[in-house]
Structure 1
Amino acid sequence: MNLASVRIITDDLDRLVVFYEKVTGVSAKRPAPVFAEFVLPSCTLAIGHSQTVHLFGAGSARAADNHTVIIEFRVHDVDAEYARLKPLVDEWVQEPATMPWGNRSILFRDPDGNLVNLFAPVTEEALERFSGRL
């Protein structure tokens, strides 16, 4: 089994698409006006307008109501990403810090309030744990 994608449901698709285009540096693919995808080497980040929710069954997802998931991107230089994104991000949860498990990390909220973590393994143990992964 391979993780194919993570999907965010939003009431403002265009706002989130623009935000994640700036964060990832990747242009979104828009196969439908209510859906966008960021196809990355390791996974796809999908964003669907709340109008798409009924296709999966009523009440299956609510826009801007995530309190349990962190969307994580592995980057080369966390501190450089922090400097680049500082003007774009309205809510920083954590400035650059090295976590007990060996990753350097920044944590912020996207415009819908979803948590986003940019991280890089920096300790020998963390680098080993991520060897062979994209």
Structure 2
Amino acid sequence: MTAQAFESPAPAASTGGPLLGPLSWNLVYVDDLAAMRAFYEGVLGLPVKNASPYFAAYHTGGCTLELMARKDNGPAAGSPARGWDRNRVLMSFKVENMTAVVAELTRRGATLLHGPSPTVSADGLPPEGQVAQFIDPEGNIFELCDEPLFF
């Protein structure tokens, strides 16, 4: 696959504004909703926005994170794949004190995969922050980032 330059999306014909609005939620299909809820609520400390026997939604700032029990109604139905091989999702959470948050999540039992390490930067420019990547009980990767948000 070659890199392509992308232009801003065309405005919506009816309003003159962007075609798409802000990202509403990120959904992650899970096998064991109870275990995943215990991790996201107990270890990560995310506040529950809404829940049912087949999903849980969490407040994460401007975008909701949803965990959805695998059912017979989606791309994950019947798939033996787990984590990255199933979802190809990387969730990144903004943090203010990388060292303290990494230490606390590790103390709570989260598995650190990588970091903290410098963020990727343009050639010749110094990194603007750090990232640390963890893995949840089903193999989904989530990241902490302390670099200033530029978007």
Q: Which residue of 2 aligns with 1:55?
A: 73
Runs of 4+ in 1 over 4 A off after TM superposition: none
Contact 1:73–1:119, Cα closer than 8 Å, also in 2: yes
Structure 1 Cα separation of the partners of residues 104 and 84 of structure 2: 25
AA aligned to 1:85 is L
Structure 1 Cα separation of the partners of residues 65 and 101 of structure 2: 19
Contact 2:39–2:136, Cα closer than 8 Å, also in 1: yes
1:30 deviates by 4.1
Residues matched between the structures, number: 120
Q: Which residue of 2 aligns with 1:124?
A: none
Q: Which residue of 1 aligns with 2:139?
A: 113
Find the structure with the greater CA-based Rg: 2
Q: Please, which moves more after superposition, 96-105 or 76-85?
A: 96-105
Q: Which residue of 9, 25, 42 maps to 2:45? A: 25
Q: Which has the higher strand share?
A: 1
Q: Which residue of 2 aligns with 1:96?
A: 116
C-alpha RMSD of matched pairs (Å): 2.1
Q: Which has the higher helix share?
A: 1
Structure 1 Cα separation of the partners of residues 120 and 83 of structure 2: 28
AA aligned to 1:106 is A
Q: Which residue of 52, 64, 78 maps to 2:82? A: 64
Does residue 1:2 correspond to 2:28, yes or no?
A: no
User: Among the aligned pairs, what percent are the same residue?
Assistant: 26
Give the secondary structure class of the aligned counterpart of 1:55.
Answer: coil
Q: Unpaired runs of 5+ in structure 2? A: 1-20, 122-127
Is the alpha carbon distance of 1:25 and 1:90 closer, same or farther for their aligned partners in structure 2, counting shifts above 3 Å? closer
